[in-house]
């Protein structure tokens, strides 16, 4: 349906005054969450026909879907006032009431809508429809064509140049290389590792393996590390995708790269598909006026939903320092619906990290507890910097003396003075989002961490 939107867009460009066409196009934009484009198209209809009720309802829908509930209510009520028989408007009012938490009113409006138009009763819940870019899921038992004509196109082109195609990794690090993070390791075991290892059991209970887990938190606290270590823990395929492998200056190429990555995972299932710095790819579409980036995000959503190819046996792991840039559509069920906060290491975790960093280094009288005690607010990466600075100093001493000089706790404490803890700045931003934009309790863990709740 991406191509359907594209062809509608072209058709509208050719005949910009064709109202039925504009309406079709605007609805398609809405289906693919291209809100601004939808809004523009509905507005254009109203310029030619100011009384066009469907276009007015369309604008109210845009407002509802982009979170502007109060304006949506005002506009929709105006429609039911003007025409009390407007079933779809009552249905939207029902959803708006539900969005505002008024279940009684929502039920009342819903029944009104159904009385006026019984066909509306089998309408899908609005949320499950959002982001369904392509055809609905195939019925069970029908494997369906794994690749559609668009895919063949992608594959054909991928043969011409495979640069940037991600590799299937078998990382050699495991959880033992990650200090602390015990509860996160356990969560990853429960949500990723055991399901992968017990796929048959899952299937016996009629459960499908799939979905996404998002790790977020301040930089340098081990999100990338634990993701790679997850791959090392299991013997499944791990495909790591860097932004540079996806984003491409040429319009359309980013979608192809994204699609190839998903196809690679599908061909190698069971697999973990890891998107590091995922906010860059899954950025809030509101932040982008360029439709090229929005198109890519919609493609990402459609790939995640398994609308383009089956995602059975694929777990998607994402990591981000900037969860507030992530489009909310990515948090819907079946996408990144499991969200894990990766906090800065506590004292015990810092001690464990120091021990890991100390491996394979010439050390004397190392006291990990002493270092852990003094490094509150330091990330794992900050601790690593302390080791790097101290090592450099020891090395220059060693070169002067012409022999190996071991690192001491004093060296580390000396280096510690030069390194500032880096996680505080992150919490400054995160706190604002947690206090003022905590939709669905997304940032509850941050609030708990800060002791605000
Ligand atoms: N829990 C940890 N255990 C061991 N090393 C860590 C840990 N957290 C961070 N580090 C060190 O800091 C580096 C940066 O961590 P990284 O995983 O890239 O952070 P993030 O992805 O959260 O920004 C790692 O390569 C590792 O050397
Ligand atoms: Mg990282």
Span 265-323, pLDDT tens digits: 999 888 889 998 887 777 776 666 566 677 888 889 999 988 888 888 888 999 999 88
Looking up residue 119, the CATH number of its domain turns out to be 1.25.40.10
Q: Is the pLDDT of residue 73 over 80?
A: yes
Ligand 2 centroid from CA 343, angstroms: 13
Ligand 1 centroid from CA 226, angstroms: 8
> Is 448 within a domain?
no
Looking up residue 394, the CATH number of its domain turns out to be 1.10.8.60
**Protein residue whose Cα sits closest to atom 12 of ligand 1:** 381
> Tokens for 393?
């100093």
Minimum-distance ligand to the CA of 174?
1
Residues 199 and 306 in one domain: yes
Torsion of CA 72, 78, 82, 85, to 10 degrees: 40
Residues 182 and 294 in one domain: yes
Q: Would the CA dihedral through 301, 302, 305, 310 be positive or negative?
A: negative
173 lines ligand 1 (CB under 6 A): no
**Protein residue whose Cα sits closest to atom 19 of ligand 1:** 220
CA distance 300 to 247: 12
CA distance 335 to 432: 25
DSSP 90-119: HHHHHHHHHHTT-HHHHHHHHHHHHHH-GG
Identify the pLDDT of residue 361. 84
Question: 143-147, 169-173, 372-376, 431-435: which has the minimum mean pLDDT?
Answer: 143-147
Range ranked top by mean pLDDT from 81-85, 99-103, 395-399, 401-405 = 81-85
Check if the beta carbon of residue 356 is closer than 8 Å to that of residue 177: yes
User: What is the chain's length?
Assistant: 453
> Is 449 within a domain?
no
344 lines ligand 1 (CB under 6 A): no
Looking up residue 335, the CATH number of its domain turns out to be 3.40.50.300
- Phi, psi at 408, each rounded to 5°: -125, 165
Residues 302 and 402 in one domain: no
Last residue of a domain, one of 129, 151, 176: 129
For residue 325, the SS3 value is: helix
> Is 442 within a domain?
no
Sheet of strand 271-275, all strands in order from the earlier edge strand to the far edge: 168-169, 237-241, 271-275, 314-320, 212-216, 336-341
CA distance 111 to 91: 9
Residues 405 and 289 in one domain: no
Residues 222 and 173 in one domain: yes
pLDDT digits (tens, 9 = 90+) for 381-423: 999 999 999 988 888 888 888 888 888 888 898 899 888 899 9
Last residue of a domain, one of 341, 371, 389: 341
Last residue of a domain, one of 322, 341, 360: 341
Residues 202 and 314 in one domain: yes
Minimum-distance ligand to the CA of 276?
2
> Is 158 within a domain?
no
Ligand 1 pocket: which of 278, 319, 381, 382 to mutate (most atoms <8 Å of CB)?
Answer: 381
Ligand 2 centroid from CA 45, angstroms: 46
Q: From 235, 239, 295, select the one nearest 266 (Cα to Cα).
A: 239
> Is 451 within a domain?
no
Question: pTM score, two decimals?
Answer: 0.65
Check if the beta carbon of residue 349 is closer than 8 Å to that of residue 181: yes
For residue 251, the SS3 value is: coil
Q: Contacts for 53-56 with beta carbons within 8 Å, 24 or more apart?
A: 53/79, 53/82, 53/83, 53/86, 53/89, 54/23, 55/23, 55/26
Number of domain units in the chain: 3
Residues 260 and 370 in one domain: no
Residues 324 and 362 in one domain: no
Minimum-distance ligand to the CA of 280?
2
Residues 212 and 323 in one domain: yes
179 lines ligand 1 (CB under 6 A): yes
> Is 152 within a domain?
no
Ligand 1 centroid from CA 71, angstroms: 45
- Phi, psi at 320, each rounded to 5°: -155, 145
19 lines ligand 1 (CB under 6 A): no
> Is 245 within a domain?
yes
Beta bridge partners of 363: 407
**Protein residue whose Cα sits closest to atom 9 of ligand 1:** 380
Q: Which residue has the higher pLDDT, 69 or 247?
A: 69
> 119 lies in which domain range?
2-129
Q: Is the pLDDT of residue 3 over 60?
A: no
What are the distances in angstroms from CA 68 to CA 56, 99, 100, 408?
Answer: 15, 11, 11, 59
pLDDT digits (tens, 9 = 90+) for 8-56: 888 788 778 888 788 888 988 887 778 889 999 999 999 989 999 999 9
Minimum-distance ligand to the CA of 227?
1
Q: Which residue has the higher pLDDT, 351 or 295?
A: 351
Check if the beta carbon of residue 77 is closer than 8 Å to that of residue 93: yes
353 lines ligand 1 (CB under 6 A): yes
Pairing assessment for the beta strands 271-275 and 237-241 based on DSSP bridges: parallel
> Is 450 within a domain?
no
Q: From 356, 410, 354, 361, select the one nearest 382 (Cα to Cα).
A: 354
- Phi, psi at 364, each rounded to 5°: -135, 135
Residues 82 and 171 in one domain: no
CA distance 415 to 357: 15
Structure confidence at residue 146 as a pLDDT band (50, 70, 90): very low
Residues 184 and 304 in one domain: yes
Residues 287 and 404 in one domain: no
Closest atom of ligand 1 to 319 CA is: 21
For residue 237, the SS3 value is: strand
Question: 62-66, 137-141, 370-374: which has the minimum mean pLDDT?
Answer: 137-141
Q: Which helix (H) or strand (E) holds 363?
A: strand 363-364
């Amino acid at each position: 349906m991406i191509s359907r939107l594209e062809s509608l867009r072209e058709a509208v460009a050719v005949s910009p005054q064709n109202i039925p066409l504009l309406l079709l196009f605007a609805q398609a934009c809405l289906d693919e969450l291209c809100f601004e484009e939808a809004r523009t198209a509905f507005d254009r209809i109203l310029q030619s026909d100011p009384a066009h009720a469907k276009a007015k309802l369309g604008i109210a829908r845009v407002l509802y879907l982009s979170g502007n509930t109060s304006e949506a209510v005002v506009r929709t009520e105006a429609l039911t006032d003007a025409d009390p028989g407007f079933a779809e408007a009552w249905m939207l009012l029902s959803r708006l009431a539900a969005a505002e938490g008024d279940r009684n009113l929502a039920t009342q409006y819903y029944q009104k809508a159904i009385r006026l138009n019984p066909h509306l009763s089998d309408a899908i819940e609005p949320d499950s429809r959002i982001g369904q870019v392509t055809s609905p899921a195939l019925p069970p038992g029908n494997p369906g064509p794994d690749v559609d004509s668009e895919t063949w196109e992608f594959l054909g082109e991928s043969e011409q140049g495979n640069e940037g195609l991600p590799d299937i990794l078998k990382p050699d690090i495991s959880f033992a290389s990650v200090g602390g993070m015990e509860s996160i390791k356990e969560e990853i075991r429960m949500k990723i590792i055991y399901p992968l290892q017990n796929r048959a059991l899952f299937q016996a209970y009629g459960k499908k393996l799939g979905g996404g887990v998002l790790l977020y938190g301040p930089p340098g606290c081990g999100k990338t590390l634990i993701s790679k270590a997850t791959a090392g823990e299991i013997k499944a395929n791990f495909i790591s995708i860097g932004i540079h492998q996806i984003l491409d200056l040429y319009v359309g190429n980013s979608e192809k790269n994204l699609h190839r990555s998903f196809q690679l995972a599908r061909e190698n299932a069971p697999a973990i598909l890891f998107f590091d710095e995922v906010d860059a790819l899954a950025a809030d579409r509101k932040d982008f006026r360029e439709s090229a980036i929005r198109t890519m995000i919609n493609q990402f959503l459609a790939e995640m939903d398994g609308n383009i190819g089956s995602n059975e046996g694929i777990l998607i792991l994402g990591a981000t320092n900037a969860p507030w840039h992530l489009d909310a559509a990515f948090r819907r069920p079946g996408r990144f619906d499991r969200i894990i906060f990766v906090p800065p290491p506590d004292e015990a975790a810092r001690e464990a990290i120091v021990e890991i960093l100390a491996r394979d280094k010439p050390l004397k009288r190392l006291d990990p507890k002493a270092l852990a005690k003094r490094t509150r607010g330091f990330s794992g990466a900050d601790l690593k910097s302390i080791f790097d600075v101290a090592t450099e100093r020891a090395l220059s001493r060693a070169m002067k003396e012409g022999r190996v000089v071991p690192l001491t706790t004093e060296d580390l404490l000396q280096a510690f003075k030069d390194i500032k803890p880096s996680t505080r700045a992150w919490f400054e931003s995160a706190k604002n989002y947690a206090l003022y934009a905590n939709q669905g309790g997304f940032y509850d863990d941050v609030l708990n961490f800060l002791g605000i709740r």
